[in-house]
Amino acid sequence: MKVRRADKANEYSPLEKEEQFQKHLIDREVVMKASDLFIRCLEAEGVEYIFGLPGEETNDLIMSILNSKIKFILVRHEQGAAFMADMYGRITQKVGVCLSTLGPGATNLTTGVANANMDRSPVLAISAQTHTNLLHKESHQNMDVITMFKPITKWRWSIRNADSIPEIVRRAFKISIEEKAGAVHLEFPQDIAKSKSDIKPITKSQEVLRSMPYKDLIKSASKMIMESKMPLILVGNGCIRGKASLHLRDFIDKTGVYSVNTFMAKGVISDKSETHLRTIGIKEADHALIAMNQADLVIAVGYDLVEYSPKNWNGSLNKKIIHVDFTPAEVDTYYPPTIEIAADIGYTIDAILHELEKEGEKKNKNANLNKCFSYDRKERLDLFKRIRKEVVQRIESFNNGDDLSYPIKPQKLVSFVRNALDENDIVISDVGAHKLWIAKVYNTYAPNTCIIPNGFCSMGFSLPAAIATQLAKPSQKIVSMCGDGGFLMNIQELETAVRLQLPIIVIVWCDSDFGMISLKQIDEFGKSAFTKFNNPDFAKLAQSFGALGYNVESTSEFPKVLEIAKESTSIPVIISIDVDYSRNHILLDDDFRA
């Protein structure tokens, strides 16, 4: 199609003008209700599900959804809908959509939306709004929702005329998915939803491909790697969004450079990799930090500072840093990149590897990459090897050990779950002390198979998240692990899971305590306060919802119950188990032996 500047429009020939006019007629022949147009636009974006809870003001939209191929997932609290959209976004890398009414519905969405935004998950939150001629004054449930969403979204807009819907929706999806991905919000007033338009939805354009990294930077980066005494790769969440796992694995296999990952990057590098020092992220308390301290160069790939402050690994500012991410580095005193590459992560890693191979070939004809490094790294590599061995040994000792004491040790619980699941099944953590155990101990072999919310860190995430994951991945086993505190924060979504006949498994770690908080209180003040509570009978609670419920009463019973739970094909299973948190303090130092 020819594109001309508006001021040259008169230069079209009469024939061209006629062609344009005919096309214009075809484009505009269907007059549609705005709510229908809005839903057509979501269809054009490939939306499969909308998670939500209706109100009077969403009724036009709800009727439009009824006539579309998009499935509406009715939830029992808008926070659940937002967590579901968040998880759908994480696991599919497509924008997850949630819907609420105005006022209280919109305020209920906020925690889940903030969680998605800080964890870089693409989400579109839609809320209704009252009639536009009431907005300027005090009226039922009317509040400034747009302003409320400001600090927790990348972009937000109130739709004020039907004709602009295609552009607004396209813009919302584009911004949400753009790196770094995050949440956007659209407000849809009731009267606008009833208005009409003859504008067509905008067809989704091709995925935007990122340009190649700048050649000189690649050369400098590979030179820096070759000259480093002990490089270490820090793998972050961006590698999951950027689908960089295979590129990084190839780089590591060929160069022998060791790696660590953050919580949200579990699985990018398999925990089976001999050069992987596993997960770091607990302030100064990870064993692999010994290796981090030794490293003179950190290659930070897709690393989000929100997850793990660089002060914890670069407090003395003695490291060189190569920053590789879709976007330039965040400003932080402790994160001053020596080389900053903002480009596609996969391309960049491939390009650096290619450059190293070229240099290796120059130095020795057989392209042995280890020979391209300027220093003999044997001594330091031996140290890294030893750390890897120690970390693995500690985890394996729980795997194979026969400690059947009850309440169950957290490490034992995690290893039972690992053994019960296939490599591609998915574990979703909630927030609390259990999260730290899962991060440290759960062996992960593929990206997006161990999900840990670690930016905003909201409790109550894992049950709704498991629902969305099971919808997106029907053939995989989905296990939510949560504390007894977090589980009750969104327990109402158990009804959603039962109604949708989803065979998710929820394991509730019971200690009748906000365990993570009492741990921190005792660590700092020597005592804990206002953290203890009573629990319901979880098995009966589950059964009252129509789910299957088991209260495990001995450690040896747990793997058997897990096997029974795995057999369920259409009913959620809740398993409660008492956990021995008496040694949680070992999470706060670098030695997590039992």
Two structure tokens written together for 547: 């789910």
Q: Are 236 and 179 in contact (CB under 8 A)?
A: no
Enumerate the H helices of 526-556 as residue ranges.
538-545
C-alpha span between 237 and 8 (Å, rounded): 48
| Minimum distance from residue 565 beta carbon to ligand TPP (Å) | 20
3-state secondary structure of 418: helix
Rank residues 346 and 485 by Cβ distance to ligand TPP and give the closer one: 485
In this structure, what token pair is assigned to residue 14?
A: 């009469």
The minimum distance between CB 516 and ligand TPP, in angstroms, equals: 4
Comparing CB distances to ligand TPP, the nearer of 238 and 410 is 410
Considering the complex, what minimum distance in angstroms separates the CB of residue 520 from ligand TPP? 9
Nearer to ligand TPP, 257 or 457 (CB): 457
Find the shortest distance in angstroms from Cβ 336 to ligand TPP.
30
Of residues 388-447, which lie at the interface with ligand TPP (CB under 6 A)?
Answer: 431-434
Ramachandran category for residue 278: left, alpha or beta (phi over 0 → left; psi -120 to 50 → alpha)? left
Could you tell me if 107 and 148 are in contact, meaning their C-beta atoms sit under 8 angstroms apart? yes
Specify the stretch interacting with ligand TPP by CB under 6 A; choose among 172-180, 342-350, 365-373, 480-488: 480-488
**DSSP-assigned beta bridge partners for residue 451:** 428
Q: How far apart are CA 279 and CA 587, in angstroms?
A: 13
Instruction: By CB under 6 A, tell whether 80 contacts ligand TPP.
Output: no
Q: What share of the chain is helix, strand, coil (3-state, %, to 5)?
A: 45, 15, 40
Q: Which is nearer to ligand TPP, 201 or 460 (CB)?
A: 460
| CA-based nearest residue to 339, from 296, 299, 281 | 299
CB 462, min distance to ligand TPP, A: 10
Of 19 and 523, which CB lies nearer to ligand TPP in the complex structure?
523
The answer to whether residue 350 forms part of the interface with ligand TPP (CB under 6 A) is no
77 binds ligand TPP (CB under 6 A): no
Look at the block and give the residue holding tokens 């020092």. 277
Question: How many Cα atoms within 13 Å fall on the side-chain side of residue 146?
Answer: 13
Instruction: Please identify, using beta-carbon distances, which residue of 335 and 581 lies nearer to ligand TPP.
Output: 581
Least separation in angstroms between residue 544's CB and ligand TPP is 21
Cβ of residue 77: shortest distance to ligand TPP, in angstroms? 13
Nearest to 200 by CA among 3, 31, 23: 31
458 binds ligand TPP (CB under 6 A): yes
Give the integer Cα–Cα distance in Å for 198 and 27.
8
Residue 141 DSSP one-character state: T
Per DSSP, 206 falls in state P
We find the least distance from the C-beta atom of residue 91 to ligand TPP, in angstroms, to be 21
Kindly report the number of other CB atoms within 10 A of residue 488's CB atom.
19
Smaller CB separation from ligand TPP, 422 or 523: 523
- Smallest gap from Cβ 283 to ligand TPP, in A, equals 15
CB of 239 to ligand TPP, least distance (A): 25
Q: Which is nearer to ligand TPP, 36 or 511 (CB)?
A: 511
For 378, the enclosing helix (H) or strand (E) is helix 378-400
Distance CA 193, CA 335 (A): 47
Count of chain residues binding ligand TPP (CB under 6 A): 19
> Which listed range, 20-28, 202-210, 267-275, 457-465, lies at the site for ligand TPP (CB under 6 A)?
457-465
User: Which residue's CB is nearer to ligand TPP, number 72 or number 406?
Assistant: 406
459 near ligand TPP (CB under 6 A): yes
| Closest distance of CB 517 from ligand TPP, Å | 5
Q: Which residue is nearest to ligand TPP (CB)?
A: 483
CB 89 within 8 A of CB 63: no
Residue 435 Cβ vs ligand TPP, minimum distance, rounded to whole Å: 7
Q: Name the H helices within 288-377.
A: 289-294, 311-314, 345-363
Pick the stretch among 24-32, 57-65, 242-250, 482-490 that binds ligand TPP (CB under 6 A).
482-490
Instruction: For residue 33, give the 3-state DSSP assignment.
Output: strand
Residues 485-504 that bind ligand TPP (CB under 6 A): 485-486
Distance CA 116, CA 95 (A): 11
CB 483 to ligand TPP: min, Å: 2
The verdict on 457 binding ligand TPP (CB under 6 A) reads: yes
**Residue 182 contacts residue 174 (beta carbons within 8 Å):** no
Query: What is the distance, to the nearest Å, from the Cα of residue 99 to the centroid of all Cα atoms in its chain?
Result: 20
Nearest CB to ligand TPP, comparing residues 244 and 441: 441
The residue among 37 and 433 lying less far from ligand TPP, judged by its C-beta, is 433
The single residue among 89, 236, 346, 483 that binds ligand TPP, judged by CB under 6 A, is 483
Report, in Å, the least distance between residue 144 CB and ligand TPP: 24
Contact flags string 501-520 toward ligand TPP, x per CB under 6 A: --------x-x-xxxxx---
What is the rounded CA–CA span in Å between residue 183 and residue 176?
Answer: 6
Q: How far apart are CA 165 and CA 155, in angstroms?
A: 15
Name the DSSP letter for residue 30: -
Nearer to ligand TPP, 61 or 504 (CB): 504
Residue 360 or 483: which CB sits closer to ligand TPP?
Answer: 483
CB 438 within 8 A of CB 265: no
Closest CA to 385 of 279, 277, 297, 226: 277
- C-alpha 379/C-alpha 392 separation (Å) is 20
Taking CB under 6 A as the criterion, the residue among 344, 350, 484, 578 binding ligand TPP is 484
Contact flag: residue 461 with ligand TPP (CB under 6 A): no
Helices (H) and strands (E) in the chain, counts: 23, 20
Segment interacting with ligand TPP, rule: CB under 6 A, options 122-130, 360-368, 478-486, 569-577: 478-486
Residue 58 as a binder of ligand TPP (CB under 6 A): the answer is: no
Q: Which residues bind ligand TPP (CB under 6 A)?
A: 431-434, 457-460, 483-486, 509, 511, 513-517
